[in-house]
Amino acid sequence: MQDPRIRLGATILLSAAAWISLPGAILTLLWWVMYAGARTSVHTIRSLIIILLVPAVMALAAFWSGADGISYFVRITTVLIIASWMYAERYPGELLDVGVWAFGTKTGFDLGLIGELSMASLDTLAREIERISVALSQKGMRLTPRIIPAVFSGILIRQLNLAHERAILLTLRGYTRGGMHCPSFSPSRSDWISGAFSCTIFLFSLIAGDFFKIAGATFIV
Amino acid sequence: MNIPPLIRLSGVVKTKGAFTLHAEGTFGPGVHLLTGRIGSGKTTLGEILAGIIQPDTGTISWTGGRRVMLLQDASYHISTMTVREEAASWHADPDVIIRRAGLTGKEDADLFTLSRGEVRRLELAAILSGEYELIVLDEPFAGLDEDARCFVRRLIETRRDAVVVIISHDITSLPKIDQLVAMEAGTLIQIGQVPQCLQNWNEAPALIRYLRKNGVCPAGLSREDLEEALCRIRG
């Protein structure tokens, strides 16, 4: 999907659809396979297991307490899949583009800038964790709970230093608030079609999830 | 009897996006300088040698042991909170490591209160005390002041039994170098033994070109050799 506006909109709608109802989650998964080519930023089984560990534990807890743990697991997993698809599709500067397009060159620019800096930090974080794992394995160690405080203190300090350096750079370049940026978008036909389907799935999920059920009556919209 | 380490790269190719690395050559015991312009593939070759990334094609054969250590950012190795704990985490005598790092008296100091140079010294002392056949040091002098650079140089000098590869584009802080290799536009060039090869170094840095232009060839690439060569020009 080329247009970040449609991608962001589709991500919000599909995440909501997946969260609201199980049929919405299943349709979202189908959408992901058909329109997103099942693209994801999770490339290893190890990463997948780490990501799904918390939802799986929560689902088991829900199951044991009598709730529908399977539905919870499928819905949360679908939300995570859509998030990983969005992360895989993004390109540098797109949040700034969307921010300025949606909210203008003051608030929009600031929001976009915050988003871009956060995304860049996520990239740095992922790279750092990979490097640390290699460094520790060469040292004959693994990332165990015992060494997590030291390892994550280092990561936190490096991230704070990086943020400090970036703040200095922005100040030196005269940044106070807002900025000039002229975003341009080139949505393709398939962007519009997949965007429209994400709206449909969201509406279907609202109905299927009894979102409009008020006092025992279901309102079909 | 220990067999001296020898690493042979045959037809190694690694593609990363638009960049392709080609490497063919041999790394034996001693200190190797792997130099080249920024983006020429030095770090990628270092990671291939260390086994962190695998080449797309080609083979890397080893003779005599295969214990490898790659130092990029020294703080990536930190797994404890104090100097003594960190030295002990390297499965060697912590007192020896602390002494070699010049951190005697700071045994109980919090690692995160040390300067970047002190952390680098500690990790380097631990690495160079370890029994590794290959030690790859990626920009070991970056961000250090002259005193710390001098200290690191002396530490590196202690390990000539292993294959030590220093990745650096800065030639002003080096220890005694035995072999010179360079990455030129993604291709590994084995320039030769130092100092004999310095006259024929095509992509030599400005300082070496200046020395050659003035009819002086340094006796090596160490800081002391370069200073001595500069003194010869000035008389």
- Per-residue pLDDT of B173-206, as tens digits, reads 899 999 999 999 899 999 999 989 998 888 888 9
Cα torsion angle, A14, A16, A18, A20, sign: negative
Q: Which residues of A touch B97 (CB under 8 A)?
A: none
Amino acid, single-letter form, for residue A110: D
SS3 state of residue B65: coil
Would you tell me which residues 109-128 of chain A have a C-beta closer than 8 angstroms to some C-beta of chain B? Answer: 128
A220, B6, B207 from B215: Cα distances, Å: 91, 36, 13
Spatial CA neighbour of A158 closest among A150, B137, B217: A150
| Nearest-by-Cβ selection for A132 from B76, B90, B111 | B76
Query: pLDDT, tens digit, for every residue of A155-203?
Result: 999 899 899 999 999 999 999 988 889 999 988 999 999 999 999 999 9
Q: Which residues of chain B are at the A interface, by a Cβ-Cβ cutoff of 8 Å?
A: 50, 52, 68-70, 72-73, 75-81, 89-91, 111-112
Domain boundaries, chain B: 6-67+131-201, 80-129
| Fold of the domain built from segment(s) B6-67+131-201 | Rossmann fold (3.40.50)
Sequence-distant (≥ 6) Cβ neighbours of residue A31 within 8 angstroms: A14, A194, A197, A198, A201
Sequence-distant (≥ 6) Cβ neighbours of residue A215 within 8 angstroms: none
Tell whether ipTM is more than 0.85: no
CB contact under 8 A, B111 and A132: no
CB contact under 8 A, B112 and A128: no
Strands (E), chain B: 6-16, 19-27, 30-36, 57-63, 68-71, 134-138, 163-167, 179-184, 187-193
B13 beta partners: B22, B57
Query: pLDDT, tens digit, for every residue of A35-56?
Result: 988 898 888 888 888 888 989 9
- Residue A108 sits at φ, ψ, to 5 deg, of -60, -45
Q: Is A162 on the interface with B (CB under 8 A)?
A: no
Suggest the residue from A125, A132, A139, A143 to mutate for an interface test with chain B (most B CBs closer than 10 A).
A139
Residue B146: count other Cβ atoms within 10 Å of its Cβ. 11
| Nearest-by-Cβ selection for B68 from A138, A147, A158 | A138
SS3 state of residue A117: helix
Q: Going by DSSP bridges, is the β-strand pair B179-184/B187-193 parallel, antiparallel, or unpaired?
A: antiparallel
On whether the pTM is more than 0.95, the answer is: no
CB contact under 8 A, A131 and B72: yes
Distance from the Cα of B161 to chain A's closest Cα (Å) equals 19
CB contact under 8 A, A135 and B72: yes
Q: Which residues of A touch B50 (CB under 8 A)?
A: 138
| Nearest-by-Cβ selection for B75 from A136, A140, A154 | A154
Sheet of strand B134-138: strand arrangement:
B57-63, B6-16, B19-27, B187-193, B179-184, B30-36, B163-167, B134-138, B68-71
pLDDT-based confidence at residue A127 (cuts at 50, 70, 90): confident
Whether omega before B195 lies within 30 degrees of 0, making that bond cis, reads yes
Work out how many CB contacts closer than 8 A connect A with B: 43
Distance from the Cα of B208 to chain A's closest Cα (Å) equals 34
Dist CA B207 CA B205 (whole Å): 6
Give me the tens of pLDDT residue by residue for chain B, a chain 235 residues long.
Answer: 567 788 999 999 999 989 999 999 999 999 999 998 888 999 999 999 999 899 999 999 998 778 899 998 888 999 999 999 999 999 889 999 999 899 999 999 999 899 888 998 999 999 988 889 999 999 998 878 888 888 888 888 888 889 999 999 888 889 999 999 999 989 999 999 998 999 888 888 899 999 999 988 899 999 899 999 999 886 6
| Nearest-by-Cβ selection for A157 from B68, B69, B112 | B112
B35 beta partners: B182
A161 membership: H or E segment, kind and range: helix A148-172
